[in-house]
Amino acid sequence: MEDICKRIVGKIREDAEAISLIKGMEVKREGPCMISSLITEHLGINSCVLMGANIANEIAVEKFSEATVGYRDNREIAEKWVRLFNTSYFMVSAVQDVEGVELCGTLKNIVAIAAGFVDGLEMGNNTKAAIMRIGLREMMAFSKLLFSSVKDSTFFESCGVADVITTCLGGRNWKCAEAFARNGGKRSFDELEAEMLQGQKLQGVSTAKEVYEVLSHRGWLELFPLFTTVHEICIGSLPPTAIVDSGKPTIQRICSL
């Protein structure tokens, strides 16, 4: 993202406004940096974010969905983005919490990977619901540790619990993770991405790695057993069954937190 910004420095108006739909973050030595912050830092312009429970192919056929604009200080700019994106089938709301909205859009992909493992192992809806609840809890805790300004209420917007539900039911990360678990982890995520996503990118695996780096560096691994376990399964250190195996750092230990 930094390279993209550097290529357009000096080529945009000083009074331009940006909005980011990118799900992810840059992990630097000094700590994680959100994409919206990188845009502001390199281009010198304000950046809002747009996230939410809206799978692209359903929007394309105009099925109803919602989204959330996250903004910092300027409510007027946020309302302009709302008016720009809002339609009869795409309802947009704004909240003053850029980091919260952006982290929801980023972290929910890790939860979707976990839900995919559960479905690939045919563990049932009860286990999947538990994984989703635990995942949302870790999303909230991680976000608030990184940014004290993050609001609890943000997680009840479209970008929060609604996006977790949608992504865990049928998003690309869930889809590939389900296939990964169904094949016992014997096919790589790179292979599954190339075969199943027709050019789309799998975000949850790389995000799990980025989050793991933050957790490891700050000594937080024990605080986030689901996030930790997902990454370790993705890189082959644990089998997919570790997501529910009581002998591993999994759902039984997670549920006790």
* CB distance 2 to 24 below 8 Å: no
Buried b (16+ CB within 10 A) or exposed e, 195-211: eeeeeeebbbbebbebb
Please check whether residue 84 is in contact with residue 19, taking contact to mean a CB–CB distance below 8 angstroms. Answer: no
Q: Are 205 and 234 in contact (CB under 8 A)?
A: yes
User: From CA 183, how far away is CA 186, in angstroms rounded?
Assistant: 6
Residue 108 bears catalytic tag: yes
Selected catalytic residue, list 108, 128, 175, 248: 108
Contact status, residue 69 vs residue 78, Cβ threshold 8 Å: yes
Rounded to 10°, the helix 163-170/172-182 angle is 40
Give me the active site residues, please.
Answer: 108
